[in-house]
Chains A and B, each alone.
Chain A
Amino acid sequence: MTKTIVLNLTSDPPLLSVMRAAVSKVCEIAGFDEMDTSKIILAIDEACSNIIRHAYKGKGGQTIRITCKIKPTKLEFILEDEGEPADVKKIKSRPLDEIRPGGLGVYIITSVMDKVKFADGMEAGNRLVMQKSIPKDKK
C-alpha cells in the first residue's frame, strides 16, 4: 500500500528548513538510515532551491508542491511548480573537475536518487519525479 503526504510551500527560502524537517520524517517512516536520509533531504532541497532560483527567478510566494509517496519498494517524490518551464535538454550537471561556485545541484540530485525524470514539453510549470529504492533490509 502506498502512503502519501503532500507538502505545499511557497517559494520562500526560509521555508526550506521546514520542508527538510518534513522530508526527514518521511524518510524515517520509509525506513532509510540516517546517512541516506541526509542525502535524500539534500537532493530534495537542491530541487526546491532550483525551482526558486530558476523557475520563479527568486520570486517569493509562488507555489511548490511536493508529493511524497512511500511505496513498498521505493520512496518517490514529485515536485511541481507553476514557474517558467525549464528546457529539459539544457538541464545538466557541470563536470566536477571544473572547480567553480554553483552548478552542483543537478549533480547532487542525480547522484543521490536512483531515478530522476524531468517532465518534458510542459505548457506551464515544471514536474520532476525522483525515486529512491528502499534498502531490502529496511522494508
Chain B
Amino acid sequence: MSLKISNTVKDKVAVLSIAGEVDMFSSPQARNAIMELVKERVPKVIVDLSEVSYMDSSGVATLIEGLQLCHKYNGNLVVAGLRDNVREVFELTRLDKIFQIFQDVKTAKAHG
C-alpha cells in the first residue's frame, strides 16, 4: 500500500506527516519526501508518525539516513507521535537513544 505523505514548512521547521504502513515497498516514498526537505536544508524536520500503523527496518533506515544528512548541515530530524508498535521498533534497535522522540508535533515544535 502506498503512503499518504504531506508536508508544511513554516519558520524553518518542516512537519512531514506520513500515514500508512512503512515497509520495504513504501519506504522509498518516505525517503523521497525526506530527501526533498534535506535538499532544501530545512533546519528542523519533524516527522509525524502518528498515522503510521507499521514500520519495519527499512523505514527506520530511511529515518537514520535523514537524520545523518540533516546533521551534516547542522540541522535536525526528530520524530513525533509514535504508536506503541512503532516505538517498539525504535526501542528494539536502540534508536530511541539516537532520535529525539516527542509525544506529538506540538511538543516537538515547542522544543527548540
Contact = CB atoms under 8 A, between A and B. Distances in A.
B35 to A, nearest CB: 12
Interface residues of B, number: 23
B25 A104 contact: no
Q: Kindly state the interface size class of chain A when it binds its partner.
A: 20 to 34
Nearest to A106: B57
Interface string B3-42: 0000000000000000001011100000000000000000
Interface in A50-92: 52-53
A133 interface: no
Interface in B35-68: 54, 56-58, 60-62, 64-65, 68
B25 A108 contact: no
A13 B57 contact: no
B23 A17 contact: yes
B88 A104 contact: no
B85 A111 contact: no
Contacts of A46: 56-57
A13 B58 CA distance: 12
A45 B27 CA distance: 14
